[in-house]
Structure 1
Amino acid sequence: MKTSQSRLYPAIAAVLFASGMSAPSMAADRVTNADLLKLIQQQAAQIDALKQRLAVVEGQTRAPAVASAGVDARTPVAPTDTQSPASEDDRRQAQVDAAIADTRESEIAVAMARGGATKSSGGSTRWGLGGEAGPLFRSDDGFFTFKPDGRLLIDFTRTSGSNYDTRNINGAQITSARLGGEGTIGALGYHVEADFADNVVALRQTYLTYTAKLFGNTTKFYLGNFLKDLGTEGSSESARVPFMLRNAATAVGQPVVSYFGMGAQMRMYGNNWHYSLSINGNAPNSSTSGTRTDSTTYLTRAHWNPWKTENGFLHVGGWYYYEKISDGVTSINNTPAIALDYNDNLAVSASSIANPTQDRGKGYELGGVLRNFWLMTEYGKRTIDSSTADSVTRHGSSFAAGWMITGEAPGFSSRSGSWKAVKVNNPVTSGGWGAFELAGRVDHYDYADAPRGGIGKSYTLGVNWYLNDWSRLMLNYVHWNTDNQVGSFTGPDAGNSVAVRAQVVF
């Protein structure tokens, strides 16, 4: 009996040791979650097989061992005080349990080596997924997931040099404070998020999703209040774009219902392209919701990467929308900020358009990424029809470029044609320097087609310090000039604005 055990237990240890050692090698090869699950299942099967073999061997060796001592195998043998059958079984079970525990610790070590995931019989939890600092909870089979998420953006601004003292103001604000959660139930998904900005609480990304294959391509369907697919920056979360404000092309070209709106959307993704189609009404916080028929927007966008390699890609894109404007909208006079979000006095006067009935917008995108450099130029045009006046056309254009000084890949996604998180090579939280980005942009706002429309330009220089994948410090210097025909700040004017932003996305 002792001889069989002495041969069997080293065999168990060798198998378990070999199984545990296979995990780091797989981690080095960048294994997937499916690989890890397969490894765990294999180890569990090995343990069960060894336990069965142990039971068989013990059954075969117990009787001969007793007979060799000259005792009838049918005669019960009294246990000794030093080694009873019960204590021997307990010892064997303890050794097996210890081996199982060692194997599970190896599994956990492998998962942690792959980025902070921990796996147990009750599911898994992973932190820092997708450039966000929150945890992702996942069931054993991956059918259920849930992730609490949100963001905090805090700005400090200063403006000087204007001919108008009321434009030369300083201040600080919480630009955005969001809190919510998202998850999946198989192919179904959901996202609920509330945003506090400009002293108003509003629902932002609040929708249901369904993911499927359509014509062989991954397709995601949205139902609810979601961010529109409107240009590279209009389709990006504000916490992801390289500057503190979205560019002029999307700011000027956006419809009445703006960047968010209740409705339905389809996004289809190919190897080097994507296409979207959506229909939207007003966002939940619209002033006309519940009292008048919504403004209704039909929007489509597509992008293509005609050149795409490991070193970079070329981006070509465009969008178009038609909007039937609600009867509750009696005039349009949107004047997006030209420099910083805090200073509402820094804007180009667009001249009010009374009794609008419909509008149309279109835009073009051209740019790309090469190693740690990026470039993007965009143009947006919006034409507004009125029942009491001639149609008016507005133009916005932007040219931007950036350099990831520390060598990281820019956060622009070739899959969606929008800005995502930057993957930091040496995070500050791990003893590194983080990632540094230098970026510049020129924006042009042109409302001169209206009888009293103004024009304006802004030149922005930005430095971004990514402390890690989910936190960033931003410094923007903006030189701006305006020539308004109406309002409190008429005539040529120019000045300089400086802003610092601290943000965390979780």
Structure 2
Amino acid sequence: MTMKTRLYPALAAVLFAGACSPAFAAHEVTNAELLKLIKAQAAEINELKQRLSAVEGSHGSAPTVASAPTAGASAGVTASAASAATAPPVNEESARRQAQVDNAIADTRESEMAVAMARGAGASSGGGAGARWGRGGEAGPVFRSDDGFFTFKPDGRLLFDVSRTSGSGFETRNITGSQITSARLGGEGTIGALGYHVEADFADNEVALRQTYLTYTTQVFGNRTKFYLGNFLKDLGTEGSSESARVPFMLRNAATAVGQPVVSYFGMGSQMRMYGNGWHFSLSINGNSPNSSTSGSNTDSTTYLARAHWNPLKGADGFVHLGSWYYYEKISDGVTSINNTPAIAADYNDNLAVSASSIANPTQDHGKGFELGGVYRNFWMMNEYGKRTIDSSTADSVSRHGSSFAAGWMITGEAPGFSSTSGSWKAVKVTNPVTSGGWGAFEVAGRVDHYDYADAPRGGKGKSYTLGVNWYLNDWSRLMMNWVHWNTDNKVGSFQGPDAGNTVSMRAQVVF
């Protein structure tokens, strides 16, 4: 056996290892280690090529005949000559073997490229380095380091509304208009267990920081627990704890709108949220949000808030939701009066509100709320109640009440976007997106809201009936239509006395 014949099996073994070993290592090594392995294999192949060339150079030339053949050997010489005549030239044989080696190297490199591409595809689905799109029903990409230690996702939203009101006895309430209700840009990411979120909201000709905080995620008593530090959305009822772009209607319900504290839905501070199997619990301490008018010139209003929810029944078809919240707030000295009047029909029309009557010299307030509802297959229902009591240094305490009953039906069969984990509204997972040739998802929902400020000497009352139709084009885009029949009975302001009318609003939104 010549050195040449011994060398070919070795070369084949190396080529086989080069084609197979990355496939086994793809689940075990990093990209850097894989590149190092590829380079080592290439070096071994080049070395074998040089050895093969050296062997062919020393053994590939034909022997020289020193003397003429004898008569007895003429037949053998003739046979050898015939054999040499039919054999390919030495240089052709060398070229053929070189082509085989080059083809084997190319095949090996193709296999290595396939492994690298497979690793990239694996990263896009959640493992390894790369970018993945559509996390949590959002359209933004998620960039992930090789080991998953670092992540980053740009995010934002655009909400564009058109609204028309008619039927009011006050002509200045019957207006039509459009607005960009919210345009947010920001980003979020993680550094191991640490997280961050920065988001600016452009709305009402102002810029305000919204979700801008640091987080730390860990296990406490065996339960996943997340700590927040910064400006974040409070855990206030089902809709108060939900992003406005995720609730089923264009306005949050009366229970949270009436019951919210001075610092509203956002505030600077710290929060802890603990999640268990079918329950969650949160505690938070908040001061003013960054865009508060009293920040920097007075002591902040300070709010202590707790909320919990529980799913006493939970199965494959749905769950029952029970929840409650409570807060106490020490009001800043910079707040000289409270007269919040949330919109009852459309965010655009500022004239549609129930007069609450101003409370002068407030010192503290406290609120509480209750939640009862659930999800059954593609149906959902939610009842909420909120109460806020305000104390003043110059007047008696005043209580305000808000209640809401709502129900909805996902016509196309998708699960409603209500989370049993957090007790808040999340994205709807669309089965047949319009962007993939489907019809999207359709939802019909209705809600009745009551606003009661009559405990104050000049407080008013109001009620609204909302019918909504939502068309989810995909997981991150939605078209909305709300028809609201409303009535108010105000005691003060420009729109005193009983009044009623209808408001039709439409919204186009993208959340990424």
TM interval, short-chain normalised: 0.7 to 0.9
8 Å Cα contact 1:455/1:484 also seen in 2: yes
Shift of the 70–287 alpha-carbon distance from structure 1 to 2, 3 Å rule, reads closer
Taking the aligned partners of 2:59 and 2:349, their CA distance within structure 1 comes to 97
User: Counterpart in 1 of 2:71?
Assistant: none
Q: Does 1:103 align with 2:124?
A: no
User: Counterpart in 2 of 1:339?
Assistant: 345
CA shift, 1:49, in A, is 13
1:229-261 Cα distance to aligned partner (Å, 9 max, x none) = 000000000000000000000000000000000
Taking the aligned partners of 1:48 and 1:183, their CA distance within structure 2 comes to 33
8 Å Cα contact 2:294/2:334 also seen in 1: yes
Q: State TM-score, norm by structure 2.
A: 0.85
Give the number of equivalent residue pairs: 476
Shift of the 243–9 alpha-carbon distance from structure 1 to 2, 3 Å rule, reads same
CA shift, 1:15, in A, is 4.7
Report the AA paired with residue 163 of structure 2: T
Q: Does 1:4 align with 2:4?
A: no
Shift of the 36–191 alpha-carbon distance from structure 1 to 2, 3 Å rule, reads farther
8 Å Cα contact 2:123/2:130 also seen in 1: no
CA shift, 1:48, in A, is 7.1
Is the partner of 1:313 in helix, strand or coil?
strand
1:203-248 Cα distance to aligned partner (Å, 9 max, x none) = 1001111111111111111111000000000000000000000000
User: Counterpart in 2 of 1:425?
Assistant: 431
CA shift, 1:58, in A, is 6.4
Shift of the 306–50 alpha-carbon distance from structure 1 to 2, 3 Å rule, reads farther
User: Counterpart in 1 of 2:226?
Assistant: 220
Query: 1:470-481 counterparts in 2 under 5 A?
Result: 470-481=476-487
Shift of the 144–321 alpha-carbon distance from structure 1 to 2, 3 Å rule, reads same
Taking the aligned partners of 2:60 and 2:142, their CA distance within structure 1 comes to 64
Taking the aligned partners of 1:70 and 1:208, their CA distance within structure 2 comes to 72
Q: Pick the aligned partner of 1:269 from 270, 275, 284.
A: 275
User: Counterpart in 1 of 2:302?
Assistant: 296
Consecutive unaligned residues in structure 2, runs of 5 or more: 62-89
Q: Pick the aligned partner of 2:413 from 369, 388, 407.
A: 407
CA shift, 1:40, in A, is 8.0
CA shift, 1:106, in A, is 3.7
Q: Pick the aligned partner of 1:497 from 485, 503, 511.
A: 503
Q: Pick the aligned partner of 1:314 from 315, 320, 323.
A: 320
Is the partner of 1:423 in helix, strand or coil?
coil
CA shift, 1:354, in A, is 0.6
1:8-37 Cα distance to aligned partner (Å, 9 max, x none) = 4895698589x59xxxxxxxxxxxxxx985
1:132-163 Cα distance to aligned partner (Å, 9 max, x none) = 11111110011111111110000000000000
8 Å Cα contact 1:16/1:103 also seen in 2: no
- Tell me whether 153-162 or 180-189 shows the greater mean CA deviation: 180-189
Query: 1:301-380 counterparts in 2 under 5 A?
Result: 301-380=307-386
CA shift, 1:196, in A, is 1.0
8 Å Cα contact 1:40/1:107 also seen in 2: no
Shift of the 40–402 alpha-carbon distance from structure 1 to 2, 3 Å rule, reads farther
Shift of the 287–14 alpha-carbon distance from structure 1 to 2, 3 Å rule, reads closer
User: Counterpart in 1 of 2:188?
Assistant: 182
CA shift, 1:263, in A, is 0.4
Structure 1 runs of 4+ off > 6 angstroms? 47-50, 68-71, 84-89
User: Counterpart in 1 of 2:458?
Assistant: 452
Report the AA paired with residue 192 of structure 2: G
Consecutive unaligned residues in structure 1, runs of 5 or more: 21-34, 72-78
CA shift, 1:504, in A, is 0.4
Taking the aligned partners of 1:14 and 1:138, their CA distance within structure 2 comes to 28
User: Counterpart in 2 of 1:464?
Assistant: 470
1:261-301 Cα distance to aligned partner (Å, 9 max, x none) = 00010111111111100000001110000001010000000
CA shift, 1:340, in A, is 0.6
